[in-house]
Amino acid sequence: MSSVWTKGNMPDCSGKTVVITGANSGIGLEAAIAMAEKNATLVLAVRNMEKGQAALAKIKAIQLGVQAELMQLDLADLESVRAFAATFMQRYTSLDILINNAGIMNTPYRLTQDGFESQFGSNHLGHYALTGLLLPRLLSTPASRIVTLSSIAAHNGRIDFDNLDGAKGYNSWKFYVQSKLANMLFARELNNKLAEQGLSTVSVACHPGFSNTNLMSFGSGKRANPFMRLLTYLGTQPAHMGALPTLYSAASPNIKGGEYIGPDGRGGRKGYPTIDPIINRLYDANVSHRLWEVSEKLTGVTFAFDQQ
């Protein structure tokens, strides 16, 4: 794979419908801008509509005539996830690319509307449910893709099935790591299930390395303190670089399904998109199967792979 793959290498996306969660800032916004520049039809799925409007205005200013709309989605509320999916299904007859990008990091202990620990609930369960509910549109769209963002932090994670809600003790960083490992395992497990059915839809995981985004606001939506901003600036790459693994996963013709794409620099921290083989070590079939079953039970969402 080329070490200098950039968004300029993306093929034209005319006629493709793309949903991006958390598209109002950071990686999601950069991905949306790149997709707009390649003529995709965009749905920006955001929790904060005011910030979403600002992002939409920016995208329209960069790419005149872009087909894009804003839709509200709160991944910490399954009712909101269901409402988003129902509205999308009414408005759109196809879905070429779903980018599960939105996330919160290292937040104080709190529960979602449905009683899930917030990071596991928002980062993993919300995206699991969204993907399952949008699956009919994905399966009816030839060669569609599902891109789920994990994190370099997940590489040292584990799933604590006995304490998913944090009731037996909570460490904000460990629960973030757990949620991002869940994202990775979900993406690979989903691709396995799609492949088993002989379907053309594929699922890919990716991570942005160390990128300068608003995750350091700890889910508050506010700017991080000056010290954290300085550390972030010194130790990370800009968001437009961090978005490259997402864009490669979503648009490169080289994607087969099941890959884990990240920066090619030392330790996967910075650089251009490449396949990160660490997923082959981290993927555990027994853990992934259990995670799928737990996710299905908690959300009430079942993936119907025969809906075409």
Radius of gyration of the chain (CA): 18
- Specify the residue for token string 């003529």: 39
Polymer length of the chain = 308
Torsions phi, psi of 16, nearest 5?
-95, 135
Q: How far apart are CA 266 and CA 212, in angstroms?
A: 17
Q: Encoding tokens for residue 216?
A: 């350091």
SS3 228: helix
- Contact between residue 240 and residue 29 where contact means Cβ atoms under 8 Å apart: no
176 classed as catalytic = yes
The active-site residue out of 92, 128, 170, 176 is 176
Q: How far apart are CA 238 and CA 226, in angstroms?
A: 17
Would you name the residues annotated as active-site residues? 176
